[in-house]
Amino acid sequence: MDFEFSEEQRMIQETARRFAVNELEPLAKECDREEKVPPRELLTKAAETGLVGSIIPEAYGGPGFGFVEQAIITEELSKVDLGLCLSVVAATFGSENLVFYGNEDQKQEYLPPLVMGEKISAGAYTEPDAGTDVAGVRTRAVRQGDEYVINGNKMFITNGTTCDWMVALCVTDPDAEKRHQRQSLIIVEADRKGVTRSKITGKMGIRASDTGEISFEDVRVPVDHLVGEEGRGFYQLMHFFDTTRTMVAAQGVGVAQGALDKTVQYVQERKVFGKPLAVNQGIQFQLAEMATRIELARTITYKAAWKVDQGRIDPSLNAMCKYYAGETAVWVCDKALQLHGGYGYIDEYDVQRFYRDAKILEIYEGAKEAEKITISRRLF
């Protein structure tokens, strides 16, 4: 058993850490306050630094890292700002479907521009009436000759209005006996006729990350845009989530650690009753509990990512790390804000942004209750 990062992994960590401090930190407040996505140059710089598309194989221009390296990058960027982290590490969101199930032509065409930061992808699964119950999607793809004709609506899609293409979960066989065999994953370019998109504004957190609503009205795509097998979309997507959940968990670890770091600094500077808050043992104990929970979340997250890289995916472990790291981030950020007192409540201090950002980690890519369903199923 070896809990140490390799030399290469430590270098990746250091590179990501520097990028976060130099490139994300200066943008974080403004993008949050104004609810705006960062300038496109950020993605270009991240791509040049080798932080984009980390699991994309070398054959398609990527670094061919594993999910452990992806988690390292994600943790470091999330320590500074989760919304901006997403605009880098989730700029390739959805493309994992192609890495796992795409054919050679699809990989050659769609993956290299992502790694270069020239294109952005999205995973369009959720609908206004189907989130946790993803098999309940209604977007319909009807085959007509050499094309699919797609109609339907997608909701809460990360990169929804900024992506160049997306992988959409569509119903291709509404009459299939099992409801999980009705769907397929299909690539849809955002500039196809009939695709309309609108930005969702007013988000509580991750305001630097684009979230959109997408509608398809008689959108025609060639049948060669099918990813993997027709009727296997649901199962392919479950495999996708079984890997990408480690990335959401790493976001939780990063957000929690970022909030703790800020708090450790603050309590040493802030004087109450003539002494720094930090000398108070009650406060030290709170910090110790925060650090312990973060370490647990980190350990389980890297273990899960490591198992994915070993080809031994453990859905229950992945569900555990995602739910535990998300809950830890929310819990730690709540304590962190409390320890900042009134200053924590105003946006001059970053801790309130971490507090608002953390909540999404208990909701997207499977609400924590959905994770608990996966875990408890294993127990029986």
- Contact residues for 134 (Cβ-Cβ < 8 A; gap 6+): 125, 126, 169, 234, 237
- CA-nearest of 162, 127, 74 to 361 is 74
| Binder of ligand FAD out of 132, 268, 299, 310 (CB under 6 A) | 132
Nearer residue to ligand FAD within complex by CB, 171 or 339: 171
| Binder of ligand FAD out of 211, 263, 286, 352 (CB under 6 A) | 211
Place of tokens 């808050």: 277
| Binder of ligand FAD out of 165, 234, 240, 364 (CB under 6 A) | 364
Contact between 162 and ligand FAD by CB under 6 A: the answer reads: no
Contact between 55 and ligand FAD by CB under 6 A: the answer reads: no
**Going by DSSP bridges, is the β-strand pair 140-144/147-158 parallel, antiparallel, or unpaired?**
antiparallel
Binding mask 78-97 for ligand FAD (x = CB under 6 A): ---------------x----
200 CB-side CA count, 13 A: 18
Nearer residue to ligand FAD within complex by CB, 313 or 367: 367
Q: How many helices (H) and strands (E) does the chain have?
A: 12, 10
Q: Is the dihedral of CA 358, 363, 232, 308 positive or negative?
A: positive
| Binder of ligand FAD out of 31, 68, 157, 358 (CB under 6 A) | 157
What is the nearest approach in angstroms of ligand FAD to the Cβ of residue 200?
Answer: 8
DSSP 203: -
Q: Is the dihedral of CA 268, 273, 275, 277 positive or negative?
A: negative
Contact between 367 and ligand FAD by CB under 6 A: the answer reads: yes
| Binder of ligand FAD out of 123, 212, 258, 315 (CB under 6 A) | 123
Question: DSSP string covering 84-100, please?
Answer: HHHHHHTTTTTTHHHHH
Nearer residue to ligand FAD within complex by CB, 114 or 277: 114
What is the nearest approach in angstroms of ligand FAD to the Cβ of residue 212?
Answer: 9
- CA-nearest of 204, 221, 203 to 148 is 221
What is the nearest approach in angstroms of ligand FAD to the Cβ of residue 377?
Answer: 12
What is the nearest approach in angstroms of ligand FAD to the Cβ of residue 124?
Answer: 6
- Contact residues for 105 (Cβ-Cβ < 8 A; gap 6+): 224
What is the nearest approach in angstroms of ligand FAD to the Cβ of residue 94?
Answer: 7
289 counts as catalytic:
no
Outline where DSSP puts E strands in 190-340: 195-199, 211-222, 226-227, 271-272, 275-276
Residue 105: other Cβ atoms inside 10 A: 9
| Binder of ligand FAD out of 323, 360, 361, 371 (CB under 6 A) | 360
What is the nearest approach in angstroms of ligand FAD to the Cβ of residue 152?
Answer: 13
Residues 241 and 245: their CA atoms lie apart, in Å, by 6
User: Which range, of 11-19, 59-67, 203-211, 218-226, touches ligand FAD by CB under 6 A?
Assistant: 203-211
Q: Which of 348, 365, 369, 371 is catalytic?
A: 365
Which residues are tagged catalytic?
365
Which residues here bind ligand FAD, judged by CB under 6 A?
93, 122-126, 131-132, 156-158, 203, 206, 211, 360, 363-367, 369
